[in-house]
Structure 1
């Protein structure tokens, strides 16, 4: 991407960290054998993958045997939800603000006869504890809750949710796509049974992700991709070794830079938000208190987000999830918070990242204010 672009859409994807790219290159040019081959090169690659797997597991407090590599979070979500479908229980509970990968997979499960309950959230996008607790029954085998919402940045109390699920014998699948690499996560402390990861959301490469499956649950999971029996026969196919190495490096960098990133990004995000909220009528969508530090979703009533996004040109922002960016349809997440169609269509998500600068934020503030004055005039 050209240097004159200002990229504020880091929840959609992130720039690959130069250190990540450097770590991957030898596995395209020199160490390109198949990691499942039995010759010496294949064996050395297997060892490299094992070391990388340890690095990834270490970031989330897991064991390397609990990691299954996938093409990304969407595949991981499908494997987790469909892979547990042999349970003698019939009920799944999730929330109306979940990512489309969860909602569409749950719709598929409904078509197969499963009972899926989509719980509403509160107006600030947080979860109603009493509603969730009372909704989980003895027939519930899976509760699905994201750790961090991709559109509003809202953070959910995953430890509490897991306690509610486990009290009734249900498992917890947590989509941590927007949280991994940004905030500390310990799967054991939080009581997470399964968890999805996507490397390109935290400065890693695209096309690689993982499903964490607790050792207590992994024997219950059934494969959804049949073939050569790779990865404990749970996900067949030739392993994306450069992707695994890159994801591992992204985890290593995240562990070292996480606190520094948070302090710097939070500061410039808060300044951006403070200035844009000076625009008459503007307001933040979702919880301000329970929110990740890089995201601000702001409604500018009377200003269509599609028009503003296009007019901003080389300032790259979005109206919500990358699955439905710049669309005439209002965001399902914002609608779930109680916003009208009009206000949902007048909302912009600003998601900052490791490479966002103060100068870029200052220019963005000036340009957004100028354009909104013009539109309202």
Structure 2
């Protein structure tokens, strides 16, 4: 039995994407056929969307030139089969904020890196240097990549050489290649990346919003890169540390009704209590205890609104042994008691039902008139 043929490697450089964006056919609103799907101009001519063929992937990616010197690619797809890609960013600094997915990066010189879930991967390429990636079938890939033209980086960001690490400043000043660096995404950086993938505006507002958010995301990432070993971050957090933090979060979510101590969680994921707390503050913005309390209150709110469980049952479901303790925590979080919140939810439900009944009645009357 022969080994299966490797997937065809498709090459796509930043230069190619800029050429496509400025193509008269694209500017005229015409869709174009590609080897693995279709590209469609986005409304307002800000960019284009590449939609994969259904046998390649579900979803696709978008590319925008926000203004001269700053571009952004938004990836949101699930691979149907192996997809091999070759990437080149043509003398631009690339910042890839990864919300979902773990993809290896490799170049012909043997450099190895990773687009890692919960991290931003930073790299720069000059000349003909490029990276190969392989997306496996079933992978859900979601990330935002910002591209800053190297020669205009300081003018575009308003930063100075003293604001960033010396090796990055040297790359921006002299060119060449900047090696792969991974920086953990903070909660605010992740939120900003989500907002870029799903911007709430259209037309000119969309472009202005995305330009502002691109600079905001870059600030979060470059600030983290500039002080990875400071006491604030408790030392460098590697990809394995992030995976442990993710397991800790999954453990909290899966045991929301249990009284598991921070020490037990840290021991279960192989971290010290101190490092676990630092990692949670860095990635999720709060301590382990506060994150757990927040998740409990979110669950309690859903159960109060959408179930007929008693308050005592909801208290036990969310890890409180006494209804009084649950009531105090809920009121501190939402400003009203659980009973008051259920009354508000029931009132809203009655209003929706009434509106729906009136709408059906109006439609029926219109049909009778017809």
TM-score range, shorter chain: under 0.3
TM-score with structure 1 setting the length: 0.25
- Higher relative CO (Cα under 8 Å, sequence separation at least 6) belongs to 1
Higher strand share: 2
TM-score with structure 2 setting the length: 0.25
Higher helix share: 2
